[in-house]
Amino acid sequence: QVQLQESGPGLVKPSETLSLTCSVSGDSITGYYWSWIRQPAGKGLEWIGRIYSSGSSTYKPSLKSRVTMSVDTSKNQFYLKLISVTAADTAVYYCARGLLGELLNWGQGTVVTVNS
């Protein structure tokens, strides 16, 4: 069965770039949509965006100016970059897989704190 694992720095300084990797095992990354979702402590889920295995992406409008997603099919990985971070970007970040409108498989999440 497919497994997703997020990785990246747990601490990012304000104004710098948050970079995360989602590694996919147990299935090919090809033919699926891959999303990033975040959740500040004690708050609800926020969808950041998604990328198809071909590289076509869609982002949440309010984050679009700061977000870039990419995919590397040879490594079975996809990536999130969020520039100019502030304390408001502190959250648990999840990656997830879907076929159409659903988020069927999720990673365990990784905590990212924005602090100097």
Partner 1 sequence: SFELTQPPSVSVSPGQTAKITCSGDALPKQYAYWYQQKPGQAPVLVILKDSERPSGIPERFSGSSSGTTVTLTISGVQAEDEADYYCQSADSSGIFVFGTGTKVTVL
Find the binder of partner 1 among 44, 65, 74, 88 (CB under 8 A).
Answer: 44
Site for partner 1 in 71-90 (CB under 8 A): none
Structure tokens at 56: 């076509």
Q: Pick the stretch among 17-25, 65-73, 75-83, 102-110 that binds partner 1 (CB under 8 A).
A: 102-110
Please report whether residue 111 would count as binding partner 1 according to CB under 8 A. no
Please report whether residue 50 would count as binding partner 1 according to CB under 8 A. yes
Phi, psi of 4 (to 5 degrees): -120, 140
